[in-house]
Amino acid sequence: MKFIHLSDTHLLPNSQLVHGIDVCARLKAAVDSICKNFADAEFCMMTGDIAELGDRESYFDAKHILNRLPFPWYGLMGNHDIRSVARDVLVDFPWHSDGYLQYELETKAGQFIILDSLHSDDVHSGQLCKERLGWLRDKLNIAKTNGKNVFLFMHHVPFDIGVPWLDRIKMENGAELWEILADFRNIRHMFFGHVHRPIHGSWHDIPFSTVKATAHQVALTFGEPELRFIGENPSYAIVLIDDDQVVIHDHSFMEEHLPAVE
């Protein structure tokens, strides 16, 4: 199967700029590229920070732009999102009665489990409370019983990645998450947003990946204590899954116009 991983659109209304970038135009360009090149994908997963300030108009803009895709799109909450506002606009998402946005998708590759790692509306680090962790354990047990592979999606990374400022706003209780995941051997991959960098590796032997934002990017600085944004081009990822492999292609969609080299 094939799906698109998109993240960190950081929309503001009326084509306002974020760090000098027209973020709505960037998202439109990404959608244009997906429609042109990868219309045969099954769906798009957007891993959080849909809106820069969590305003209603930006969520409406996200719906308007992403609904142009020729397949369904799904999302989750990031630290810039505001649950109560998003819930009023993104009414098709399967919100829980307690306000969280956690759900699963049954696909031919296995169970896609989507987690809500948003701590609260004014905290940039992430957290999974006991209720959300309990829900996750229940879903993992069901998938294990049914012999299903699992793919996890969340905004916050639950471990250090070596960029000091980003490590300060990771998921606060990653160790508690691992206590649950350690009991399962059917988790094939974890997908994150939040870091505005393309990062690939493994955590406790579970493969993971992140993707660049469609908005601004974070500088790759291992020694600097403060966050710095840079003008690197954005990308989205095309994920290919079959029985024995997961292949991820990061596509720099704003460079499609570049001429071929001899």
Angle between helices 23-37 and 56-66 (to 10 degrees): 20
Smallest Cα–Cα separation from 190: which of 113, 79, 97, 99? Answer: 113
pLDDT for the residue numbered 184: 97
DSSP 66: H
Is the pLDDT score of 10 beyond 90? yes
pLDDT for the residue numbered 107: 96
What secondary structure does DSSP assign to 128-177, as a single string?
--HHHHHHHHHHHHHHHHTT--EEEEESS-SS--S-HHHHHTSBTTHHHH
pTM: 0.96
Q: What whole-number percentage of the chain has pLDDT above 90?
A: 91
* Domain regions of the chain by residue span: 2-255
Tokens 């244009």: give the residue: 32
Smallest Cα–Cα separation from 233: which of 262, 210, 256? Answer: 256
Helix (H) or strand (E) holding 107: strand 103-107
- Find the angle CA(13)-CA(16)-CA(17) to the nearest 5 degrees: 140
Fold classified for 2-255: Purple Acid Phosphatase; chain A, domain 2 (3.60.21)
In whole angstroms, what is the distance from residue 5 CA to residue 95 CA? 21
Please classify residue 170 by burial: count the beta carbons closer than 10 Å to its beta carbon, then call 0-12 exposed, 13-18 middle and 19+ buried: buried
Q: What integer best gives the mean pLDDT of the chain? A: 96
Neighbours of 125 (CB within 10 A): 17
Judged by average pLDDT, the poorest of 60-69, 114-123, 168-177 is 114-123
Residue at 190: amino acid letter: M
pLDDT digit string (tens) for 160-210?
A: 999 999 999 999 999 999 999 999 999 999 999 999 999 999 999 999 999
pLDDT digit string (tens) for 28-46?
A: 999 999 999 999 999 999 9
Judged by average pLDDT, the poorest of 2-6, 17-21, 67-71, 110-114 is 17-21
pLDDT digit string (tens) for 84-98?
A: 999 999 999 999 998
What 3-state class would DSSP assign to 29? Answer: helix
